[in-house]
Amino acid sequence: MADTNFDVLIIGSGPGGYVTAIRAAQLGFKTAIVERDYLGGICLNWGCIPTKALLRSAEVFHYLEHAKNYGLKADNVSYDAKAVVQRSRAVSKRLNDGVGFLMKKNKVPIIWGEATIDAPGKVSVKASKSEAPKGALGPGQYQAKHIIIATGARPRVLPGIEPDKKVVWTYFEAMVPDRVPKSLLVIGSGAIGIEFASFYRTLGSDVTVVEVLPQILPVEDQEIQAFARKSFEKQGIKIHTNAKVTKLDKKADSVTATIEEGGKTQSITVERVISAVGVVGNIENLGLEKLDVKTDRGIIVVDQFNKTNVPGIYAIGDVSGPPMLAHKAEHEGVVCIEAIKGLNPHPMNKLMIPGCTYCSPQIASVGLTEQAAKEKKLDVRVGRFPFVGNGKAIALGEDQGLVKVIFDKKTGQLLGAHMVGAEVTELIQGYVVAMNLETTEEELMHTIFPHPTLSEMMKEAVLDAYGRALNI
């Protein structure tokens, strides 16, 4: 008979859950993980990873369409939508298998099914509809001294724009289209909405984006989002801010949307709608109410080490609140399990968590925006450097972009960094490291960046904040 008694039981195998399981095993805890649908969770199977595969296909297609810009010829360029989707799914399958391998390597059994916490230390698992991977433990009663909830989040549904999986999609359907729609309405302009808008526009869809707030990409610096917006509109994406979709009239193969903007209404008819209005935590059916685990507006309330108000129960990742990012979940899980072990880890600083959007142009940021710094009454120095002043960017044919940094004028502390342009999602980590090491402007100015690289702009932006930029 299979062992049912563990030190640590983790509910959910997304980036937060599986990484926490590995770290728990490394620390000597007898650990198991419960999953009901997909090893690797939403991020790996239906989110971060497969969308990047789709966007890469769109990027290559864009380059082929504009081959002449590079002195090359490519005639009659087209795409196969099914093959693009197939490649994306193959990438996810490979990583899904990888998580299974890591669990075996670290001797973490997978319990397949839906978990409910009956009491502190006791979890019952019932069968799920999804097929269990080979060697997984089945439904039953399990015990663990520490129970970590890592159940993630799902798409938010707004009344009146409920997805039907046919003409009104969530990101699940948007990721596996049988064809690319001729016209598309995206409701919501956060990272998910903008990435899909960018993908489908590149493949030829007539794309409209509607955002209820005054700016697209609401968490980003105003200057950066304004630059991105101009770029998107130049590509042909129609954007409505301070606007909302009040009604969807669904037909067999199209949708007529009523958009309210500035006190006026207009109707547009599109083949498909993507609802990307945020996500909500998966807190239902876990037994939280019975145990009086404190929740707030759909997320579990935790302390700096991810403890809930009930001893022995913890929550990490999307289910414990924003920012709802895979890398936040991973780090949170490691901090949580190390605190359980008594290693006294540093609590996570949310201002040090970078955010990335993989549209074209890419967007990346960390720390305070300029407006947030000013709202805190901080005296700031702001530096900027445009891609047009960088040799590598010009050679790449990617000379449209901007790097922006914000410093505390009194201390020289780097408060925030914000970028838009080619490959900025890879560049941002330089600033993240700098902020974690409490690097000042002086140290950054004395750092030698390699030439020719896009990264040189990161130093130039710092120099600009102090009136010392060299190449612009």
Provide the pLDDT confidence category of residue 77 given band limits of 50, 70 and 90: very high
- The set of residues, in sequence order, having a beta carbon less than 8 Å from that of 124 and lying 6+ positions away, is 115, 116, 118, 140, 141, 142
What are the pLDDT digits (tens) for 207-252? 999 999 999 999 999 999 999 999 999 999 999 999 999 999 999 9
Q: Is the pLDDT of residue 1 over 90?
A: no
b or e along 371-393 (b: 16 or more beta carbons within 10 Å of the residue's beta carbon)?
ebbeeeebebbbbbbbbebbebb
- Which two structure tokens, joined as six digits, stand for 179? 């064809």
Handedness of CA 274, 279, 280, 285 (dihedral sign): positive
The answer to whether the beta carbons of residues 283 and 151 sit under 8 Å apart is yes
Question: Which residue is listed with tokens 């890591």?
Answer: 102
Query: Which of 143, 198, 150 lies closest to 174, judged by CA?
Result: 198
End-to-end CA distance of the chain: 71
> Average of pLDDT values for 30-36?
98
The answer to whether the beta carbons of residues 150 and 314 sit under 8 Å apart is no
- Which two structure tokens, joined as six digits, stand for 17? 């859950």
Residue 321's pLDDT is: 95
3-state helix, strand, coil split of the chain in percent (to 5) is 35, 25, 40
> Using CA atoms, how far apart are residues 353 and 79, in angstroms rounded to an integer?
36
- The set of residues, in sequence order, having a beta carbon less than 8 Å from that of 4 and lying 6+ positions away, is 140, 141, 142, 143
What are the pLDDT digits (tens) for 138-170? 999 999 999 999 999 999 999 989 999 999 999
Sequence length of the chain is 472
* Active site (annotated) includes residue 418: no
b or e along 278-295 (b: 16 or more beta carbons within 10 Å of the residue's beta carbon)?
ebbbbbeebbbeebebeb
Residue 2's pLDDT is: 73
Provide the pLDDT confidence category of residue 52 given band limits of 50, 70 and 90: very high
Q: Which domains does the chain have, with CATH numbers?
A: 5-154+280-350 (3.50.50.60), 168-277 (3.50.50.60), 361-465 (3.30.390.30)
What are the pLDDT digits (tens) for 290-307? 999 999 999 999 999 999
> Average of pLDDT values for 382-387?
98
Kindly report the pTM of this predicted structure: 0.95
Write down the catalytic residue from 346, 418, 446, 451: 451
Give Cα 54 to chain centroid, integer Å: 15
Q: Is the pLDDT of residue 434 over 60?
A: yes
* 3-state class (DSSP) for residue 340: helix
> Average of pLDDT values for 443-457?
97
Provide the pLDDT confidence category of residue 102 given band limits of 50, 70 and 90: very high
Per the prediction, the chain carries an average pLDDT of: 96
Residue 395's pLDDT is: 98
> Average of pLDDT values for 315-320?
98
The answer to whether the beta carbons of residues 35 and 13 sit under 8 Å apart is yes
* 3-state class (DSSP) for residue 216: coil
H helices of 154-205, in order, are 171-174, 191-202
> Average of pLDDT values for 314-334?
97
Residue 3's pLDDT is: 87
Please spell the DSSP secondary structure of 51-63, one letter per residue: HHHHHHHHHHHHH
Q: Is the pLDDT of residue 284 over 90?
A: yes
- The number of helices, as runs of H, and strands, as runs of E, in the chain is 14, 24
> Using CA atoms, how far apart are residues 103 and 137, in angstroms rounded to an integer?
13
Query: Which of 461, 455, 471, 469 lies closest to 384, judged by CA?
Result: 461
